[in-house]
């Protein structure tokens, strides 16, 4: 069951209850309890810890005091050292040094998904969610959605990044937008399409957006390859040229300037500025479905290979970590490094931590996660 990944769920996107058996099920289809089309501001409030809550799978490792029924999709530690956990269906959880807090946002159902977390230079925390864009300024939350120009069918934000000029880029079901702090401004990608495109959610969806060190913007799309953009000009990368697969799941640039690309059907590749190397095709990496890329403070590259655990790339070598090494599951949905140098892994069956020597239940290193 836990070996089922993104591809299977997208094929079953019309089944709303598929969440019970698939990795990122709640990505497809949602029964909305309340519209959040109006801008919402409120003082920070929290919900009491839920110690007894049914989970989709038995929790082998911690589920944050019962607050996480499914899994932690994304994690972030802000400049003040606070931990933020974005969940798949249980909203935002924070640890600010004393106790875990379930964050409450007025007029927003507590059962929303958090797909991305970023922090700007001023210390504001931005959340790409299934109810739109949420900003936390250190005191209050504010939600931006349809009133600010996000299409009604486009509240779910997958791609979220802030460029060197402070402009926020949004990748969602209906396409790409800029956000200037007050309103969403559509940004059109070229209309060029690959032959026999097979999008899993939307032919306009952008899963991930990054800006490289040269100021190029990269857009990883749902079934239409990658668009590279700078100064009004686009380059379309597809399986006919550089890519191994048009369904691109993830993309990052490492500190050396290499572009790492994860796909749903073609594994992981690295572009060094001159040539693309596909490690899966060469038999170095097991599993064709790769994503959750993360570069740690030691410049090691981490990523998930669906059903095959997690890989670390260091000193030109790959090391595989699986349940035999302490992972709670070989299906990992999130990877993150805290300011102690600990690597966190989030899966259906709880949170694990790698301390540089071994992988263990997160509560063994951070008791507050219990």
CB 337 within 8 A of CB 346: no
Neighbours of 121 (CB within 10 A): 9
How is the beta sheet containing 301-305 ordered, strand by strand?
290-295, 301-305, 310-314, 317-321
Residue 241 lies in a domain: no
Give the C-alpha separation, 165 to 143, whole Å. Answer: 22
Residue 107, pLDDT score: 84
Residue 67, pLDDT score: 96
Find the domain containing 6 and state its range.
Answer: 1-31
Residue 252: both structure tokens together: 């990052």
Residue 153, pLDDT score: 60
Residue 155, pLDDT score: 76
Residue 3 lies in a domain: yes
Residue 178 vs residues 73, 74, 128, 172, 206: alpha-carbon distances, Å: 24, 22, 13, 11, 13
Residue 5 lies in a domain: yes
Residue 6 lies in a domain: yes
Residue 14 lies in a domain: yes
Residue 251 lies in a domain: no
Residue 243, pLDDT score: 95
Residue 27 lies in a domain: yes
- The C-alpha angle 271, 274, 280, rounded to 5 degrees, equals 35
* pTM as predicted: 0.87
Residue 52, pLDDT score: 54
pLDDT under 70: residue ranges of the chain:
1-53, 153-154
Residue 4 lies in a domain: yes
> How many domains are contained in the chain?
1
């Amino acid at each position: 069951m836990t070996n089922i990944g993104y591809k299977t769920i997208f094929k079953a996107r019309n089944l709303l209850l598929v969440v019970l058996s698939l990795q990122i099920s709640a990505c497809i289809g949602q029964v909305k309890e309340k519209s959040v089309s109006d801008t919402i501001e409120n003082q920070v409030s929290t919900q009491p810890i839920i110690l007894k809550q049914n989970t989709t799978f038995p929790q082998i490792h911690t589920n944050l005091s019962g607050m996480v029924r499914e899994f932690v999709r994304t994690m972030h530690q802000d400049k003040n050292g606070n931990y933020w956990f974005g969940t798949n269906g249980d909203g935002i959880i924070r640890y600010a040094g004393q106790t875990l807090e379930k964050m409450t946002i007025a007029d927003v159902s507590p059962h929303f998904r958090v797909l991305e977390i970023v922090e700007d230079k001023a210390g504001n925390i931005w959340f790409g969610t299934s109810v739109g864009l949420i900003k936390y300024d250190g005191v209050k939350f504010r939600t931006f959605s349809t009133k600010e120009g996000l299409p009604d069918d486009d509240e779910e934000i997958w791609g979220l990044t802030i460029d060197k000029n402070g402009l926020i880029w949004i990748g969602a079901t209906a396409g790409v937008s800029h956000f200037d702090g007050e309103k969403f401004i559509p940004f059109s990608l070229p209309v060029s399409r690959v032959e026999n495109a097979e999008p899993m959610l939307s032919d306009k969806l952008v899963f991930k957006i990054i800006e490289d060190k040269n100021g190029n913007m990269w857009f990883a799309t749902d079934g239409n390859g990658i668009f590279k953009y700078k100064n009004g000009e686009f380059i379309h990368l597809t399986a006919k040229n550089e890519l191994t697969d048009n369904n691109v799941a993830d993309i990052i640039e490492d500190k050396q300037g290499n572009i790492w690309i994860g796909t749903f059907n073609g594994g992981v590749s690295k572009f060094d500025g001159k040539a693309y190397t596909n490690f899966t095709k060469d038999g170095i990496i097991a599993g064709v479905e790769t994503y959750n890329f993360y570069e740690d403070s030691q410049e090691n590259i981490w990523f998930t290979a669906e059903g095959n655990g997690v890989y670390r790339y260091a000193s030109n070598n790959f090391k595989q970590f699986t349940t035999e090494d302490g992972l709670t599951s070989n299906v990992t949905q999130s990877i993150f490094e805290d300011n102690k140098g600990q690597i966190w892994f989030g899966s259906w069956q709880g949170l694990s931590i790698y301390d540089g020597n071994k992988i263990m239940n997160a509560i063994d290193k951070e008791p507050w996660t219990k």
